Amino acid sequence: MLSKANKYILIILTSLLCLAYTSTLAQKKSKVDIKNSDIVKFVRNTDPVLNKFLGNVFITHGDIKMYCDSAYQYEKENSLEAFGKVHIINADTVHIYGDYLKYYGNRKYAELRNNVKLENKSVTVTTQFLDFDMNESVGYYFNGGQIIDSTNVLNSEIGRYYTKDELLFFKDSVKVHTEDYDLFSDTLKYNTVSKTAFILGPTDIVGEKETLYSEDGWYNTSTNISQFLKNTELNSKSYQIKGDSIYLDRNNELARIFDHVELRDTINNIILKGNYLETFKSTEEALMTDSAVFIQVTEQDSLFLHADSLRLDKDTSNFERIKAFHRVKFFRPDLQGKCDSLVYTMQDSTIRLFNNPVLWAQGNQIVADTIGIETKNEAIRYLHFRGSSFLCSKEDTTFYNQIKGKNMLGHVKDNKLYKLDISGNGETLYYPMDKGIIMGMNTAKSSNISIRIKENKIDQIIFIKKPDGNMYPLFQVEKEMLYLKEFQWLESDQPKRKEDIFIWDKKLLEISEPELKPELLREIE
């Protein structure tokens, strides 16, 4: 049982709680007070009864101030209607104007109609329909509204303005206008302090030269820094960029794109794929890394190339070029290659291979100090081999046709090598055949040699200068005679399908086909 003293303490605490509740309830339902008007009329023959206040009406409700030309007060409901030049001041900083007001005192809720304007610091909202919750300091508009702050103009069908948090929420037909772009969105949040827009649905950002689509992300309109996180696509007249996320710094004209990245050069029919892309708009440069793939799209067979990194830039004549660095491999059904670095220049449509380059074409393997692939109208015209050039092809498991010289020029028609010109220190070792039977081994030396190729086989050898050579029957061919100096057969390095461009050294990289495909196939599909 409670002692007498404890009973008194309990009664006092209960009384205090009741008083506090009663005070809070009274505050919430405080009376709307008409402080001033020129004329007052008390109307009692209506239901509900009302009081009419006409001319220079001044109203208070707690810390809320209201002004209007005339007002109807419904005392029983603790509500009112206000007409003409309505002006509400809430929390000193929020000013709301309109032609008509319906105010519910018990809920501290205002409904404003016709020529409505809300001002809060640097933000102005204009609409024809605005509801405002004074307790939460939240404004709601519908049937269209416009927001203007110091830098942006925003329009939408539906909007909410959280004045305490200085946060705006927009829905349906959202449009943002700035000096540099127009933004169109389904759903958008905007922080008026940080000047940051948060896109929450399908959104298009349209600039003078570029457009961007995304379904999630943010854009700081003050710093011009943004990041887009879902189904993002950046487009211009000459290119298209996709990625899981895109980071943009418009002031420094920098873009970083992450994961499942794809850049399409729509003018030159080029595609770059990878997991990281960095672009610099001012210098028109781009760098692709992480499973980087270059695809040259043609009507017949596209070329697929992989390297540790790919760089797009402009040459001194302002023509585009692509540079591939380290562990470069490429595949096309009629042409494959490997080197440590590569340059593709649009000015002369030539691909140049550097640092131990190897080229495979129609069963022929060619190595040189540098290799150039000259194209026209997406078709190969010439193959240039400069310095220590060496061509070989496999006749059978034992014998290899071999041609070497200082420089070679390969002539290509219908994507097939049909002629090879050797200039300087020409040397040949080949096996002439008759009805499919090897007749022997022919060796010859001449400074300049021209070779005709038919059906991927040496058909004719023309020595420009008198050759020094011999023909040996096969039974006279010794093991040490089988190869010219510097011969090497590199078939294990040849990419025989487009997936192989990711395998640099099959001897060192032990990876099974099922493991390879899920990780890398998506980069070249």
Fold of the domain spanning 32-143: lipopolysaccharide transport protein A fold (2.60.450)
The pLDDT, as a whole number, for residue 14 is 52
pLDDT tens over the chain, length 525 residues? 445 555 555 545 554 554 444 444 444 568 999 999 999 999 887 778 899 999 999 999 999 999 999 999 999 999 999 999 999 999 888 999 999 999 999 999 999 999 999 999 889 999 999 999 999 999 999 889 999 987 788 899 999 999 988 899 998 889 988 877 888 998 999 898 888 989 998 999 998 888 999 999 998 988 889 999 999 998 988 889 999 999 999 888 899 999 999 999 888 888 999 999 998 877 888 899 999 999 988 877 888 999 999 998 888 888 888 999 999 999 998 899 999 999 998 888 889 999 999 999 888 999 999 999 998 877 789 999 999 999 999 888 889 999 999 999 999 988 788 899 999 989 999 888 888 788 899 999 998 999 898 877 788 888 887 788 899 998 898 989 999 999 999 999 999 999 999 988 765 444 444 344 444 445 555
Whole-prediction pTM value? 0.74
Q: For tokens 């290509």, what's the residue?
A: 412
Length of the chain: 525
The pLDDT, as a whole number, for residue 413 is 87
Where does 395-525 show beta strands of DSSP type E? 400-413, 416-430, 433-434, 437-438, 441-454, 457-463, 468-472
The pLDDT, as a whole number, for residue 343 is 94
Eight-class DSSP state of 473: -
The pLDDT, as a whole number, for residue 159 is 92
CB count within 10 Å of CB 377 equals 7
Structure tokens at 328: 């470069």
Radius of gyration of the chain (CA): 40
Structure tokens at 45: 């023959």
Q: How far apart are CA 238 and CA 464, in angstroms?
A: 48
The pLDDT, as a whole number, for residue 44 is 81
Phi–psi pair at 432, nearest 5 degrees: -65, 145
The pLDDT, as a whole number, for residue 41 is 92
Cis peptide bond prior to 48, omega within 30° of 0: yes
Domain ranges of the chain: 32-143, 357-489
Do domains 32-143 and 357-489 share one topology? The answer is yes
CATH class for domain 357-489?
mainly beta
